[in-house]
Structure 1
Amino acid sequence: MPEPIVVDVADLPRVTVPAMAGRYRVESADFRVEEVFVHPLDDAGEHLWLWIEKTGLTTHQAIERIAGDCGVAARQIGFAGLKDRHARTYQWLSLPWPIKAELPTWTVADDLIVHAARRHGRKLKRGAHTANRFSIRLRDITYPEAVDDGESLTALATRIASQGVPNYFGEQRFGRQGTNVEMARQVFAGKRLPRNKRSIALSAARSFLFNQVLAARVAGGTWARALAGDVFMLAGTNSVFAGNTTDETAQALAERVASRDIAPTGPMPGQLGPRAVVPESPAADHEQAVGQAYPDLIDGLVAARVDAERRSLVLAVDDFRLARAGDDLIVSFGLPAGAFATSVLRELGDFVDAMRIR
């Protein structure tokens, strides 16, 4: 039997030595997330889109509340992404609503506020937002004795803004005790789970394997560099190409990576389709080593008929800002949908999620 896998994201290598330590999410309002959409609404149609603010609620809990107020089934309410419970978050929901019907009324509560209601021709779909904007208050800050926090933090903020950070999956993906990968092994062994738990388990296995490949590249200093044989992703898209299939020189590819036009990728393992783009050595060596270390996870994902994908190794951080607020720090930035804010925080320092240890 293989050794049990208990994931601790804190063990993954970082680009720099932590410049500080502290806590975040001491209060729900300390962690603010706002969905970013680029597509305008029609202001016409049979779907009502609601811009909500929620605090201390999961997205599903907010949906249940809205469904009850409006007299519709929760399954009819659309949303783009699941937002943190222990946070103050802003996101769109949509529900079917007859054109001639008056707007519904909502219960007024501190933990759930409907700020706007607009019509649109379509239901809101998962993944429809392009990005999320974060504003996080860091409390109880301490600095190593050797660190000049003023100059060091300025340099660190500049590097994060220009280079980005390793695109790790955060601890949320692996469960409170880090045991979701072991739950995937139970699925591969034939255990039947509810659909949502099965999906969580398979996602955790893929995320774990990706993190292992990325960790090897971070440790080797190549996570944000072009290696021979790499598969690259075009910035702002999911389009990938193999570097060795182009006419571009190694220098040209390296310059495109440095300018953040493209980024090297790692595997989201599963079954390879006929048009799959795969790396070659030496870039493929890290992926092959991880596959050899965890063959049961690779085989299980293939047997589960999960489609293989690629994910950028580099997480681009948009409009990164770091400001003092008394004894605290406020860090704000934008990330593409599906990225983890904790991957940015861990490059700033050792920060403990106060909500998760209660």
Structure 2
Amino acid sequence: MSNQNTTGHQWRLDWPTSHGRVARAQLKSVPEDFRVEEVLTVSDLIPGEGEHLCLCLEKTGDNTEFVARQLARMAGCRGFDVGFCGLKDRHAVTTQWFSLYRPGMEASDDYFIREVDGHWRVLASARAPRKLRRGEHSANRFAIVLRNVEGSKAEIDEALDRLGEQGAPNYFGPQRFGHDGGNLDRALKMDPSQLNRRKGRAKRGSRGGRDGSKNVLYFSAARSWLFNEVLATRVSDGSWNTCLSGEPAESAAGPTGPMWGDGGTTATDGQEAVERDVVGKWPELERLFAATRMQPERRPLVVQPQELDWEWQGGDTLFICFVLPPGQYATTVLGDIFELEDMSLGRHNE
């Protein structure tokens, strides 16, 4: 499926699945139907002493960046002084850690924690020597309820068994690309050379720093969309879960695809040819990367859920739980089997 927006561009935002979808289901009918727990090695990252106060919060209806801004306001610190490991869904019940730079303020921690607990439930707290950084958590644990499931239970059970054994194509979720691919249209209009000056501007606190952050978002959307296009080609030809000749040596754990950068891809031989052929069909996006110093990277083509389990709750309600590494999407995993209707979007979000 391609989406055409007011700019006239058509962006594919729904990509081929591994074996075809076997059912329909409604997702996020209520926030409690989508639970996410951040898995963090607390003993390593939050040892109990240091200048940063770390709080494990349970939140509903608020996204991560909103909570971080509110915590900074409550603590009287800069937004930069609040750390977290990853972005969590707004329309969900999520548990995650935040760090706040509060040097020499240990005596008032209890008072501050009670203030925060008035907004979000504080599950745990401890001190740490440095702020939490993106991607430092080890995994995310999901507990999801699908409602009004339409399809054969036998076929769904079989598909879930196969998912546990083979995994699913590791697409980036369509939310990354904005409404009708709007973030991709904005990427085409941006000056990629601005990315190289973003950090300096951000340090001076100028408007350029904020605009630079948006440019990074649009640039990331373009990079992710090209990855999805390469993965879609590999799904279509049946090679998505197999290493091809030319797979980079550092990707020995399994097949990977390109996170495009200056120079394109680190793949060689036949795999390089496939990736450059796909990306070459989108020269407007490809040339964004020539003006940056962004190094090419790799991302697994296969997302493999761990601890996958499920239970039918009545005739058309299905409970599913699993664990994913950071940066991988529960909706991508489920979307390989189900045509999902997100009830938190559009009129359901009023």
Shorter-chain TM-score bucket reads 0.7 to 0.9
**1:33 Cα deviation after fit:** 1.0
**1:214 Cα deviation after fit:** 0.3
Matches within 5 A, 1:44-83: 44-83=49-88
Secondary structure class of the residue paired with 2:175? helix
Post-superposition Cα deviations, 1:316-358, rounded to whole Å, max 9, x if no partner, equal: 2111112122331111111111111111011121011111223
Gaps of 5+ in 1: 233-238, 242-261
Secondary structure class of the residue paired with 1:178? helix
**1:115 Cα deviation after fit:** 1.6
Matches within 5 A, 1:120-199: 120-143=128-151, 147=152, 149=153, 151-188=154-191, 194-199=211-216
**Is residue 104 of structure 2 the alignment partner of residue 88 of structure 1?**
no
Who is 1:313 aligned against? 301
The answer to whether the 8 A contact 2:193-2:291 is kept is no
**Is residue 23 of structure 2 the alignment partner of residue 20 of structure 1?**
yes
Change in 2 beyond 3 A, CA 1:166/1:298: same
**1:206 Cα deviation after fit:** 0.6
Who is 1:251 aligned against? none
**1:190 Cα deviation after fit:** 8.6
**Is residue 267 of structure 2 the alignment partner of residue 264 of structure 1?**
no
Post-superposition Cα deviations, 1:202-253, rounded to whole Å, max 9, x if no partner, equal: 0011111111110000011110012222236xxxxxx436xxxxxxxxxxxx
Runs of 4+ in 1 over 4 A off after TM superposition: 188-193
The answer to whether the 8 A contact 1:6-1:182 is kept is no
Change in 2 beyond 3 A, CA 1:6/1:305: farther
Change in 2 beyond 3 A, CA 1:19/1:73: same
Post-superposition Cα deviations, 1:35-54, rounded to whole Å, max 9, x if no partner, equal: 11135131122211100011
The answer to whether the 8 A contact 2:266-2:296 is kept is no
Secondary structure class of the residue paired with 2:171? coil
Identity %: 36
**Is residue 108 of structure 2 the alignment partner of residue 102 of structure 1?**
yes
**1:17 Cα deviation after fit:** 2.1
**Is residue 240 of structure 2 the alignment partner of residue 240 of structure 1?**
no
Post-superposition Cα deviations, 1:136-160, rounded to whole Å, max 9, x if no partner, equal: 11111111xxx4x1x3222211211
Who is 2:237 aligned against? 220
Post-superposition Cα deviations, 1:95-153, rounded to whole Å, max 9, x if no partner, equal: 123264231231544x622121111222111211121111111111111xxx4x1x322
Post-superposition Cα deviations, 1:267-294, rounded to whole Å, max 9, x if no partner, equal: 1111139xx732211x223212212201
Who is 1:336 aligned against? 325
In 2, Cα distance between the equivalents of 1:6 and 1:87?
A: 30
The answer to whether the 8 A contact 1:5-1:182 is kept is yes
Who is 1:7 aligned against? 11
In 2, Cα distance between the equivalents of 1:21 and 1:348?
A: 9
Q: TM-score, normalised by structure 1?
A: 0.83
Post-superposition Cα deviations, 1:181-205, rounded to whole Å, max 9, x if no partner, equal: 1111001489988112101110011
RMSD: 2.3
Secondary structure class of the residue paired with 1:184? helix
**Is residue 126 of structure 2 the alignment partner of residue 118 of structure 1?**
yes
The answer to whether the 8 A contact 2:23-2:156 is kept is no
**1:4 Cα deviation after fit:** 4.8
Who is 2:283 aligned against? 295
Who is 1:245 aligned against? none
Gaps of 5+ in 2: 1-6, 195-207
The answer to whether the 8 A contact 2:193-2:292 is kept is no
Between 1:219-228 and 1:296-305, the stretch displaced more is: 296-305
Between 1:60-69 and 1:203-212, the stretch displaced more is: 60-69
**Is residue 276 of structure 2 the alignment partner of residue 285 of structure 1?**
no
Q: 2:312 aligns with which of 305, 319, 324?
A: 324
The answer to whether the 8 A contact 1:5-1:179 is kept is no
How many residues align structurally? Answer: 320
In 1, Cα distance between the equivalents of 2:232 and 2:322?
A: 23
What is the identity, as a one-letter code, of the residue corresponding to 1:153? Answer: I
In 2, Cα distance between the equivalents of 1:5 and 1:285?
A: 26
The answer to whether the 8 A contact 2:177-2:184 is kept is yes
Q: TM-score, normalised by structure 2?
A: 0.85
Secondary structure class of the residue paired with 1:223? coil
What is the identity, as a one-letter code, of the residue corresponding to 1:230? Answer: E
Who is 2:340 aligned against? 351
